[in-house]
């Protein structure tokens, strides 16, 4: 019974957030529509958005847990507190407003007014920015996945036939960068001429941000090893890396949310509920040492990240439904989980 209570204890704050969030969704539905069907509609959409966020970000929780294991308790706590504020308010509210402000050449306050007064136009502008956002997020996430697989020091392989070969390429400096650039150039050749420059620029920005964040994170963590003001290894650098990674994972969910509703407040509520569950899953994975117990779970997460990056690139050409994206990620992680259980049985 104690183990069961321990498991349920991780759901305390997500459940509280769910009750508050759905209550706000119902109130928002009544305030917007003024009828009961509006309340029911907003409740359903809020629930679907939360489920969508959980499905798309489960692999994010695994990757976060892997990084958090090396972080000091102070910075781990900061990520789990400050990080959730940045994730909910920064990516679910500020980020969409910033997109509209940039593409419509208006200030953020005007973007907020547009979101509340003319949600259809607001959604149209977000949709117009989908291509460049997909290029940025796809490039960043593909670099994250390739850095994990193309690594000479990697010692555990799930799909050995593939991963052993990828490890061999780790001796070639910058191989993953060259591979991503080749993929970006191939996609550019297929895109209409008027979209090529924006796609290429966004992809280069994604590559640049990954390189800067990864390099800065390593540099700051090295300083942190001897600087008490920052902390030990796994401090500010790891925090910055995880925040950018969180943002990249959020792109797909935020853009996909506009397919369900154009109400920015409802989007923030629904995705915010889902983000709380993802954070709780992260905490549980760290405190219970789940990644160590299931050796291939991390591999499944990075395969899922790679699949998500490919989907984001494809979305520049065709529409891929968010449920398909979430299903691919959950399937890969589920297979990795089953493979881990089978391995544990063989070892036993």
Question: Which of 272, 297, 221 has the alpha carbon at shortest distance from 93?
Answer: 272
Interatomic CA distance for residues 140 and 133, integer angstroms = 11
Question: Which of 69, 72, 67, 84 has the alpha carbon at shortest distance from 229?
Answer: 72
pLDDT on residue 291: 74
Please write the tens of the pLDDT for every residue from 286-344: 877 777 788 888 888 889 889 888 988 888 888 777 667 778 888 888 899 899 999 98
The CB density around residue 114, as the number of other CB atoms within 10 Å, is: 19
The CB density around residue 104, as the number of other CB atoms within 10 Å, is: 17
Please write the tens of the pLDDT for every residue from 64-122: 887 787 777 788 888 877 877 777 677 777 777 777 777 767 777 888 888 778 877 87
Please write the tens of the pLDDT for every residue from 194-233: 888 989 998 998 899 888 877 776 666 565 554 444 444 5
Write the burial class of residue 140 (CB in 10 Å: 0-12 exposed, 13-18 middle, 19+ buried).
Answer: buried
E strand or H helix at 150, and its extent? none
Question: Tokens 């949600």, residue?
Answer: 119
């Amino acid at each position: 019974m104690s183990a069961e209570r321990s498991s349920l204890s991780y759901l305390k704050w997500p459940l509280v957030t769910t009750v508050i969030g759905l209550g706000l969704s119902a109130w928002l539905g009544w305030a917007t529509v003024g009828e009961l069907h509006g309340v029911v509609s907003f409740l359903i959409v809020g629930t679907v958005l939360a489920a969508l966020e959980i499905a798309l970000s489960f692999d994010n929780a695994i990757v976060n847990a892997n990084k958090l294991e090396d972080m000091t308790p102070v910075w781990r706590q900061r990520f789990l507190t400050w990080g959730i504020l940045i994730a909910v308010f920064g990516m679910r509210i500020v980020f969409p407003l910033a997109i509209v402000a940039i593409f419509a050449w208006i200030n953020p306050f005007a973007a907020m007014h547009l979101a509340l007064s003319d949600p259809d136009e607001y959604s149209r502008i977000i949709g117009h920015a989908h291509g460049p956002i997909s290029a940025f997020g796809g490039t960043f996430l593909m670099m994250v996945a390739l850095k994990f697989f193309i690594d000479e020091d990697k010692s555990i392989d799930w799909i050995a036939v593939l991963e052993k070969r990828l490890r061999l390429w780790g001796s070639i400096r910058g191989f993953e960068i060259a591979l991503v650039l080749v993929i970006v150039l191939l996609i550019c050749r297929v895109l209409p001429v008027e979209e090529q420059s924006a796609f290429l620029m966004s992809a280069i920005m994604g590559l640049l941000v990954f390189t800067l964040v990864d390099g800065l994170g390593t540099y700051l963590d090295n300083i942190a090893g001897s600087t008490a003001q920052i902390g030990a290894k796994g401090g500010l650098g790891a925090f910055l890396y995880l925040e950018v990674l969180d943002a990249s994972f959020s792109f797909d969910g935020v853009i996909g949310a506009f397919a369900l509703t154009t109400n920015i407040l409802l989007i923030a509520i629904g995705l915010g509920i889902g983000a709380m569950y993802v954070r709780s899953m992260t905490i549980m994975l760290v405190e219970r040492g789940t990644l160590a117990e299931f050796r291939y779970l991390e591999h499944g997460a990075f395969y899922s990240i790679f699949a998500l990056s490919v989907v984001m690139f494809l979305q520049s050409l065709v529409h891929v439904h968010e449920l398909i994206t979430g299903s691919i990620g959950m399937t890969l992680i589920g297979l990795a989980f089953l493979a881990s259980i089978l391995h544990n049985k063989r070892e036993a």
